[in-house]
Structure 1
Amino acid sequence: MSGYQLALQQLTDSALPTGAFAHSLGFETYVDASVIADEASFGVWLSAFVSQQLTYSDGLAIRFLYEGVDIGELDALLSASLLPRQVREASVKMGLRLLEIGGEVFPSAELGLYRDVVTTGRAAGHQPLAFAVVARSLGVPLHEALAAYLFATATSLTQNAVRAIPLGQNAGQRLLRQAAADVAAAVERIPHLTPDDFGALSPGLEISQMRHERQRARMFMS
């Protein structure tokens, strides 16, 4: 077993207290509108989310960091491209928690530098960048880091959907098995994207995320 594998499992475990349980990243808007009401309809949304927002935003940011793009520049790009305020704030909230946990459990000089930049207000501290810094410092290859991050996000969202729609636990596992194919496709696609692709995602996803802020009743923060 490679030395980083157990650490990677800990880093992507749903028990890691980043606050992901508090965010739907927009699917709750569709639940409120009865567009998402069951296993099949949530599966359609999750597939779109993985193949679009996770691929062209978080996943591409992780790849660029691995390739040596300045982390401050990537942080600013994420802040600018995440147009829905709640989603932008969710990325930062979960990123700050990951930076805090990483500093205690997976310390590295690279992580320390990013924390300093965030602490001094020169960067926001987005979740995919915090994850990428930790993963790269652990020696995790890019394709494994991408697969782990994307699937962990899909897992968190599915667990939240199980509670919110609600769905049965078996349905949640079926959805994750389906999501694995979308994650694998995204991992194959991300290395071939260009900087011009960054932030290219469906307006429908962004609009639903913006509408969530004014939803009358909700379980999630985003």
Structure 2
Amino acid sequence: MTPTTSLSAASLIRLLWLASPALPVGSFSYSEGLEAAVDSGRVHDEASATAWLLDQQALVLARAELPLLAAAVRAWRGGADGADGADGADSEGIEALNDWVVHTRDGAEARQQTLQMGRSLTDWLRQREADADLQRLAALQPAPTWPIAFALAAARSGAPLREALIAFGFGWAENMVQAAVKTVPLGQSAGQRLLGQLADALPGWVEQALLNDPARRQNFAPVLAILAARHEAQYSRLFRS
């Protein structure tokens, strides 16, 4: 059984805010290769969209994004256990994680997405507060990436690490389902069924990300990478990736 943790109302609201489609970071404009999968015929109905996104959740979100986010939240909090109240952020660790994100985006659109969304979230955070950590985030080169910026926001929320990862994963799932509804296309009921399956699988992937060695994270999904590259030259498209 998963141990219970204390989550205050303020922390819960902050996580809901970060996971919300209303967060002004532009996530709605990216399909992360899904539009190219639809164009190629690999995704064409509810069943194929469900299979595609469950695979993407297992191969990319679970093996790369969630372990990376866990490491980044811990680095911002300055402690191996991710607890609040540590001495300060691990600057070198944060820079190394940001570099890892940039260098494992295997296409121009994926790189553009993480940098644009990272910059947008950094600007959103700086509108609310300014301190050394935000200056450190803004100074990352070539720019703050999306997971690293989200990790700082999650670290500031005061929420337990597990709940921060769940919020990140659900935000991804909701955005991808909305992309599927628009491109396949799917009806709203089909979209909700798809979101339910992604949500049901998410806690298990979060637990795995918390337990596994973060150095073993990987972002190897060759079919997705090929389709994402093809999307760059796709004749007609709704999304930026």
1:202 Cα deviation (Å)?
2.1
One-letter code aligned to 1:144: E
Written as runs of structure 1 = structure 2, the 5 A alignment for 1:146-165 is 146-165=165-184
Which has the higher mean CA deviation after the structures are superposed, 56-65 or 198-207?
Answer: 198-207
Identity of aligned residues (%): 33
1:80 to 103, 119, 140: 103
Q: Distance in 2 between matches of 1:187 and 1:96?
A: 25
Letter in 2 for 1:110: D
Letter in 2 for 1:92: L
Q: Which residue of 1 aligns with 2:161?
A: 142
Query: What is the SS of the residue equivalent to 1:67?
Result: helix
- What is the total number of aligned residue pairs between the two structures? 218
- The residue that corresponds to 2:81 in the other structure is none
Residues 90-119 of structure 1 show CA distances to partners (whole Å, capped at 9, x for unaligned) of 11111111111122246554233212x13x
Give me the whole-angstrom Cα distance separating, in 2, the residues matched to 1:190 and 1:87. Answer: 22
Q: Does 1:168 align with 2:175?
A: no
Q: 1:11 to 1:211 in 2, by over 3 A?
A: same
Cα separation, 1, equivalents of 2:219 and 2:14: 32
TM-score normalised to structure 2 length: 0.85
Give every structure 1 segment of 4 or more consecutive aligned residues whose post-TM-superposition deviation is greater than 6 Å: none
Offset, 1:178? 0.5
Report deviation, 1:155.
0.2
Tell me the amino acid that sits aligned with residue 135 of structure 1. A
Conservation of the 8 A alpha-carbon contact between 2:102 and 2:111 = yes
Structure 1 residue 215, shift from structure 2 partner: 1.5
Distance of 1:7 and 1:199 partners within structure 2: 29
* In 1: Cα distance, 2:217 partner to 2:20 partner: 27
Matches within 5 A, 1:43-58: 43-58=50-65
Matching residue of 1:214: 233
Tell me the distance in 2 between the aligned counterparts of 1:30 and 1:6.
Answer: 35
SS of structure 2 residue aligned to 1:167: coil
Larger Rg: 2
* Residues 75 and 123 in structure 1, CA contact (< 8 A), matched pair in contact too: no
State the Cα deviation string for residues 163-195 of structure 1 (Å, max 9, x = none).
111111111111111101221121011123334
What is aligned with 2:74? 67
Could you say if the C-alpha distance between residues 140 and 172 of structure 1 is closer, same or farther in structure 2, counting changes exceeding 3 Å? same
Q: Is contact 1:106-1:134 (8 Å) kept? A: no
Query: Does the alignment pair 1:110 with 2:133?
Result: yes
Is structure 2 residue 223 aligned with structure 1 residue 204? Answer: yes
Query: Of the candidates 11, 25, 29, which is equivalent to residue 32 of structure 2?
Result: 25
Could you tell me which amino acid in structure 2 is paired with residue 75 of structure 1? N
Alignment correspondent of 1:182 = 201
Aligned-pair CA distance for 1:199: 2.4
When structure 1 is superposed on structure 2, of 154-163 and 106-115 the one drifting more is: 106-115
Matched AA of 2:28: F
Matching residue's letter, 1:94: M
Instruction: Report Cα offsets for 1:140-159 as digits up to 9, x if no partner.
Output: 21111111001101101111
Matching of residue 132 in structure 1 with residue 151 in structure 2? yes
Cα RMSD of the aligned pairs, angstroms, is: 1.7
Rounded to whole Å, the distance in 2 between the matches of 1:179 and 1:101 is 28
Task: Give, in whole Å, the separation in 1 of the partners of 2:215 and 2:230.
Answer: 27
Paired residue type of 1:138: S
- CA 1:80–1:145: 2 relative to 1, 3 Å: same
Equivalent in the alignment of 2:119: 96
Q: Aligned partner of 1:11: which letter? A: L
The separation in 1 between residues aligned to 2:111 and 2:217, in whole angstroms, is 15
